[in-house]
Amino acid sequence: MVAVDDDLRTRLDAVATVAAGLGPEAADREAEHKLPTEQLSHLLAAGAGALRVPVEYGGSGAPVRVLADVLIDIAAGDSNLAQIFRGHLGLTEILRFADPGPARETLLRSAAGGAFFGPAGAELSTPNLKELATSLRRDGDHYLLSGRKYYTTGSLYADWLNVLVSVDGEFVSAIVPRRSEGVTVIDDWDGFGQRLTASGTAVFESVRVDPDYLLRHRDPLTNDYMEAFYQFVHSATQAGIARAVADDLADLVRGRARSYPLASTPEPAADPQVLQIVGEVRGKAYSARANVLHLAGTLDEFLADPSPARAERALLDSAATQVVNTDLVGAATWQFFNAGSASALKTRLGLDRHWRNARTVSSHNPAVYKAALIGDHAVNGTRPRSFLNSLGDS
């Protein structure tokens, strides 16, 4: 049990109230491509974006274990919003590790006050994240940032952008205001799932960057932790989808009035085979959440006493959680329709979104690579290596 003080409890209750209201209109928002700007605003006003901000900067200083359940709650209501938070939460963690200075002070306090961060890392013009074309060049007392990013999940909603560049053989985060001159964020994400995450294009045309707002990723242990943390957010989103599937399936079966000729009873809500499926789906949702909570505990242990061994454990646990939760949520969203019958296929219900959203989230950091990482460690003793520590690799 994690101890929660009165201030944090008040904030958690406020966030939970908002999260509980996300689900009823989630399918309609997706069908109409209505961006969840209002819902995000309510979550930020309730304090969701300040949960991991240290208390001395006006935040809650909540453990990762507490954040885990909040993310699962949000994802159960609308998985788009949980993923939208990933970049914000990631930069908040980076700032917690950053040296004292204007960026850390200003950005953490702004997050405590409801400001939102968005990411801009990947590029479609390069073969992988190690080879970034986005440039950062000195121009007098400042820098100029130029490039084109994609998969910028949540940046359309952001106040500040975390733009990843490679400078002199190291990764650097250039932090710029979202509305800086030369910044354009485009809602051109066309994936079949997570349709409202705004995971599209961001263009930077000679955007001015304050040198104080360059954050260099030089600490290997922090980099390992960050890789595990980013994966944690995806896994929590998967767990929230699994819970939504379990809840929607119970509601659907409860309301079914027709059954199949081969069924053992004319009432679906009393059919033992249907009930078995409902129970199996709920069991998968339970397991997915338990995996995320275990991973959150591993991350909190690292933060309490950072060490190479705990960083390695965080990477391995995050990989295992991705592998297992990908299977769990995938199976749950498929089983759903075995108990839901043909009535669950109606377009207006939007129940297919759970499978599409789960498959989309699970396509990030594909589980096959995470499984290989675990296997290489188990068989050959190979230490897992995070992306931010990879520039020195051949």
User: Residue 103 contacts by C-beta under 8 Å, 6 or more apart in sequence?
Assistant: 95, 175, 212, 213, 215
Mean pLDDT, residues 12-26 taken together: 97
DSSP 5: -
195 and 282 fall within a common domain: no
- The pLDDT score that the predictor gives to residue 128 is 80
Averaged pLDDT, 128-141: 92
Same domain, yes or no, for 147 and 285?
A: no
What percent of the chain shows pLDDT beyond 90? 88
Q: What percent of the chain is predicted at pLDDT more than 70?
A: 99
Residue 394's pLDDT is 44
CA nearest neighbour of 304 among 189, 313, 242: 313
What is the mean predicted confidence (pLDDT) over 70-92? Answer: 98
For residue 141, being part of any structural domain is answered with yes
* CA pseudo-torsion sign 114, 202, 228, 307: negative
Query: Please, which contacts does 344-349 make with residues 24 or more away whose CB atoms are closer than 8 Å?
Result: 344/252, 348/31, 349/27
- pTM, entire model: 0.96
The residue type at 167: V
Structure tokens at 311: 């960083």
Q: Give a yes or no: residue 51 inside a domain.
A: yes
Chain length of the chain = 394
Q: Indicate whether 262 and 349 sit together in one domain.
A: yes
Domain-embedded: residue 71: yes
- Contact between residue 343 and residue 256 where contact means Cβ atoms under 8 Å apart: yes
- pLDDT value of residue 1: 63
User: If you average pLDDT over residues 37-61, what whole number do you get?
Assistant: 98
- H or E element at residue 367: helix 367-380
- pLDDT > 70? residue 364: yes
CATH of the domain at 160: 2.40.110.10
309, 267: one domain: yes
Between CA 174 and CA 165 the distance in angstroms is 7
Alpha-carbon dihedral sign for residues 230, 321, 251, 194? positive
Residue 1: inside a domain: no
Mean pLDDT in the chain?
95
Q: Tell which of 81, 116, 151 closes a domain.
A: 116
Q: Are residues 238 and 206 in the same domain?
A: no
Domain housing 99: 6-116
> Tokens in use for 77?
């209501």
Residues 253 and 356 reside in one and the same domain: yes
DSSP category for residue 247 = H
Among 150, 15, 25, CA closest to 80? 25
Tell me the pLDDT tens digit for each residue of 378-389: 999 999 989 999
Is pLDDT above 90 for 172?
Answer: yes
Say whether pLDDT at 126 is over 60: yes
Whether 189 and 332 map to the same domain: the answer is: no
**Which among 174, 199, 216 is the end of a domain?**
216
What local confidence, expressed as pLDDT, does residue 50 receive? 98
Whether the per-residue pLDDT at 260 is higher than 70: the answer is: yes
Residue 199: the pLDDT is: 96
- Judge whether 112 lies within some domain: yes
Question: For residues 45 and 43, what is the distance between their CA atoms, to the nearest angstrom?
Answer: 5
Domain count along the chain:
3
List CB contacts of 139: < 8 A, sequence separation 6 or more. none
Give me the CATH number covering residue 377. Answer: 1.20.140.10
**Which of 51, 52, 155 lies closest to 95, judged by CA?**
52
Write the CB contacts of 157 (distance below 8 Å, at least 6 apart in sequence): 35, 37, 40, 84, 116, 118, 198
Give yes or no: residues 226 and 249 share one domain: yes
In a shared domain, residues 182 and 108: no
Shared-domain flag, residues 72 and 156: no
Interval 182-213: pLDDT, tens: 999 999 999 999 999 999 999 999 999 999 99
Mean pLDDT (whole number) for 258-271: 85
Regarding whether 75 and 58 lie in a shared domain, the answer is yes
Region of 263 (left: φ > 0; alpha: ψ -120 to 50; beta: rest) is beta
Q: Can you give the CATH number for the domain in which 78 is found?
A: 1.10.540.10
Whether residues 250 and 332 share a domain: the answer is yes
Q: What is the mean pLDDT of residues 323-343?
A: 95
* End-of-domain residue from the set 79, 96, 116: 116
Decide if 394 is inside a domain: no
Q: Is residue 343 part of a domain?
A: yes
